[in-house]
């Protein structure tokens, strides 16, 4: 901030205003006010001195005037040019220097005492205030850092709780974050350990629940009577983790004995290795425990995989469904190759009823109706109400021109699984049956 300039009687600036003061602005403002006040007082106190100066200048001016008149009378107007500049020269050479000298003297005499009496105490107070302000600033900064640390700790705890909630819904990545944090020293470790235990207890209880979601017909919402190889196919192909969980639950609900081949264990572990949903992982481990009589905790996938490494070569755990999965996954395949793959599956697992029905349908396509009938008879001996048995027999009777029998069999198939209506629309032999008298379509469409 620049100080206001001083002005002489003629309005001209006195002193140098180009130098910037080095004191704080508040001090500068205070000094400016005090100096101006002091100057006003000094001007009043020295009014007498200025009056004497004015009287002396008037006397000089009177003598100069008389002299100029005399010279004018003698020499005419030749001195007019010099005479007219006399007032300016008087102001410049007499008045301004006198005022400048007077002001400078006043400032020099008064400034030292003024600084000692006014400015130095003020400067000390300013320094004291600056010290106190610095102390307060340091305290505020320390409290801000503490508050920031508390906020970060609280956010970390909230994140852990959110991860725990997400883990319960199946988020594997969230579970891994909680698990990692529980093993990392820090202020959040206690919260992470607590959250991890909560997740584990949740899944322990979830494994023992009586009612679980199952894989059902999408129209009737009832279990249509699955064969294990159907569930294996759907488990490996479904993208929705909720549906994979339902399929695993359905596999786990199969009664022990001939209908539950222990080779399903190999398929479950194939899925477990790459599974990215925590709920599906827990249900797979639970199902493995049920079939193998192990006691692996639902979330201990690493423990389960280590167990599998020790037992995967045992004969009873070898999957019989490898050829079947090839048969249902490859788009271009000859009937002969299809029949061969299905026979390999049936040889390893005689209870692969869906594979038997697929083989019978393929035999119908190649006009081997006797072999198809024999395969369907084998299915009937194992499960007479199997929906695919009704469906393929309807196809066989349509092939043999037994239309009424085909209508009855297709009605029985669609009654057990309404979604088979959609499948029948894709089978050339069954399309006319869908439009025959007596057909009962789940969609309500009329023949």
The answer to whether 431 touches 421, Cβ cutoff 8 Å, is no
Cα–Cα dist 45/239, whole Å: 102
Neighbours of 416 (CB within 10 A): 20
Helix axes 387-399, 369-382, angle to 10 degrees: 160
pLDDT at 2 over 50: no
Model confidence at 139, pLDDT cuts 50, 70, 90, reads confident
pLDDT at 326 over 70: yes
The domain segmentation of the chain, as residue ranges, is: 6-144, 228-317, 327-434
Lowest mean pLDDT among 206-215, 359-368, 399-408, 428-437: 206-215
| Mean local confidence (pLDDT), 66-90 | 59
pLDDT at 116 over 50: yes
pLDDT attached to residue 164: 83
Cα–Cα dist 232/226, whole Å: 10
pLDDT at 75 over 60: no
DSSP state, residue 118: I
Q: Which residues contact 268 (CB under 8 A, 6 or more apart)?
A: 248, 251, 284, 287, 288
Cα–Cα dist 97/14, whole Å: 10
Write down the pTM of the prediction: 0.64
The gap between the terminal CA atoms of the chain, to the nearest Å, is: 100
SS3 category, 7:
strand
Angle at 314 between CA 308 and CA 319, to 5 degrees: 80
| Mean local confidence (pLDDT), 48-55 | 69
115: its two tokens: 């600084």
The answer to whether 161 touches 154, Cβ cutoff 8 Å, is no
Class of the CATH-defined domain 327-434 = mainly alpha
Please provide the DSSP assignment of 31-59 as one string: HHHHHHHHHHHHHHHTHHHHHHHHHHHHH
**Residue written as token pair 């755990």:** 317
| Mean local confidence (pLDDT), 87-95 | 60
pLDDT attached to residue 175: 85
Please provide the DSSP assignment of 287-326 as one string: HHHHHHT----TT-HHHHHHHHHHHTTSGGG--S-HHHHH
pLDDT attached to residue 219: 93
């Amino acid at each position: 901030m620049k100080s206001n300039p001083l002005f002489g009687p003629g309005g001209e600036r006195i002193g140098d205003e180009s130098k910037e003061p080095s004191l704080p602005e508040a001090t500068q403002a205070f000094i400016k006010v005090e100096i101006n006040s002091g100057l006003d007082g000094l001007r009043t106190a020295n009014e007498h001195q200025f009056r004497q100066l004015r009287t002396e200048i008037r006397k000089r001016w009177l003598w100069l005037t008389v002299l100029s008149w005399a010279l004018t009378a003698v020499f005419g107007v030749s001195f007019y040019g010099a005479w007219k500049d006399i007032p300016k020269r008087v102001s410049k050479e007499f008045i301004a220097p006198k005022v400048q000298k007077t002001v400078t003297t006043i400032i020099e005499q008064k400034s030292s005492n003024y600084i000692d009496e006014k400015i130095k105490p003020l400067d000390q107070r300013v320094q004291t205030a600056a010290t106190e302000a610095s102390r307060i600033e340091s305290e505020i900064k320390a409290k801000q850092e503490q508050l920031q640390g508390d906020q970060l700790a609280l956010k970390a705890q909230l994140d852990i709780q959110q991860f725990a909630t997400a883990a319960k819904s199946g988020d594997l990545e969230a579970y891994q974050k909680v698990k990692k944090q529980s093993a990392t020293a820090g202020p959040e470790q206690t919260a992470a350990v607590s959250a991890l235990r909560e997740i584990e207890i949740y899944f322990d209880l979830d494994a023992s629940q009586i009612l679980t979601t199952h894989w059902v017909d999408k129209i009737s919402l009832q279990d249509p009577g699955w064969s294990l190889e159907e569930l294996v196919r759907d488990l490996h192909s479904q993208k929705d983790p909720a549906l994979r969980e339902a399929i695993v639950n359905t596999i786990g609900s199969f009664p022990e004995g001939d209908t539950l081949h222990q080779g399903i264990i190999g398929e479950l572990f194939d899925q477990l290795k790459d599974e990215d949903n925590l709920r599906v992982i827990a249900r797979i481990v639970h199902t493995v425990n049920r079939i193998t009589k192990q006691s692996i905790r639902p979330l201990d996938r690493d423990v389960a995989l280590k167990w599998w490494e020790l037992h995967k070569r045992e004969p009873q755990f070898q999957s019989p469904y490898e050829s079947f999965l090839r048969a249902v996954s490859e788009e271009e395949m000859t009937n002969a190759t299809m029949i061969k793959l299905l026979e390999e599956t049936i040889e390893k697992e005689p209870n692969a009823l869906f594979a038997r029905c697929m083989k019978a349908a393929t035999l119908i396509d190649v006009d081997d109706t006797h072999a198809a009938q024999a395969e369907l008879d084998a299915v009937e001996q194992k499960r007479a109400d199997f929906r695919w048995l009704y469906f393929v027999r309807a196809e066989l009777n349509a092939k043999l021109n037994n239309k009424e029998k085909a209508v009855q069999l297709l009605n029985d198939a669609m009654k057990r699984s309404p979604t088979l209506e959609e499948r029948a629309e894709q089978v050339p032999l069954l399309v006319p049956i869908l439009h025959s008298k007596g057909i009962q379509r789940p969609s309500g469409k009329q023949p």
